Amino acid sequence: MIELLKELILEHGVSGYEAGIRNLIESKLPPDITRTTDNLGNFIVQIGQGEDEILFTAHMDELGFIVSEVRPDGFLRIRSLGGIDLRLVPGRTMRIKTKKGEVCGVVGAIPPHIMSEDRHEMKQVPQFEDMFVDVGASNAREAHSLGIEILDPVTFQKTFEILNTKYVSARGLDDRAGCAVLLQVIEKCYTRKMKGKVSFAFTVQEERGLRGAQLVGSYLKAKRAFAIDTAASALMPGSSPDRGPAVLGAGPALRCADSRYIADPEFVKEIRKIAAKKKIPTQIIFAGGSTDAAAIEVQGPKSLPITIPLRYTHSPVEVANLQDLENTVKLVIAIVEHYTR
């Protein structure tokens, strides 16, 4: 799990620019497995024959930016793709994906030495129009010679760390963790005989309004659908646990309501019963934001987000518990076995 997760995370793929991560995911599949890519870029893997029984989704895209301007002085302006926390951008190293390869840049910040006398700038969160990316270019021509163009995708420089042997910290666990879970499930299930068809959708543009899942839900008519995603945990100093009750290490969190979704309580009980039979710990949570399940549910299937608790969501240092990842794999396999005997 660790090596797979690291490889997925280090591949860049911001919303609308998922080709690289999609190609990497496809390279991990058995060669004879059924797969297809739709016009929006969603990548679908299917196992079994007959009626569509179950659909699992995990979104490939991550938060990021695009180049919006190459200034005459060689500095770049960027715009966000998804819910970027502006507090986390200044002082960061960035990677710009260009036609010539990756280019390194840094988001500059005005140092205290040249601020106004009262240094009021320190108390303000810079807006995107006040930020710039320094790629070491003296003018626009030099920046263009590096391969940089308007609309090039930009990501944070990524790290991948193991904390105390139990936790993983990285930019993009939301939702490369879900992608890793589905890849492991596919590996364990693709040779099994099953009644009906199981579909695995690696979706695009989730961070831009669940757009990929809306398309997938329109043509994959499964009876049941599950979004394998993450859930923000507020269990940290300075935050109220009520705002994010997901507990790291307590198992996959069944997300029963969020900003765009509410679960069928009987369906939640059914899934918890499946988990209990296999002695897989689960927890029930209510959360903000939303997942692919909200877009797919309105197409008809019983739907439920199965989420991995995550600290510091949407930051460059998201943290997840490795045992939660393993238990999520076990739960997804248990669901497949239960409905496709």
Alpha-carbon radius of gyration of the chain: 21
Which pTM does this prediction carry? 0.93
Report which of 329, 319, 86, 44 is spatially closest to residue 204, judged by C-alpha positions: 44
Residue that the structure tokens 């995603």 belong to: 229
pLDDT, tens only, 156-172: 999 999 999 999 999 99
Rounded to whole angstroms, the Cα distance separating 276 from 266 reads: 15
Cβ atoms of 215 and 45 within 8 Å: the answer is no
Region of poorest pLDDT, from 35-39, 130-134, 214-218, 236-240: 236-240
Rounded to whole angstroms, the Cα distance separating 242 from 239 reads: 9
Amino acid at 137: A
161 is a catalytic site residue: no
Torsion of CA 148, 23, 8, 275, to 10 degrees: 140
Sign for the CA dihedral angle at 60, 12, 167, 30 comes to positive
Instruction: State residue 118's pLDDT score.
Output: 66
Q: Is the pLDDT of residue 89 over 70?
A: yes
| Active-site choice (11, 18, 206, 318) | 206
pLDDT, tens only, 136-147: 999 999 999 999
Which domains, from first to last, does the chain contain? 2-62+171-339 (3.40.630.10), 64-156 (2.40.30.40)
Q: State the pLDDT confidence band at 125, using cuts at 50, 70 and 90.
A: confident
How many residues make up the chain in this entry?
341
Residue that the structure tokens 């930009």 belong to: 154
Instruction: State residue 21's pLDDT score.
Output: 97
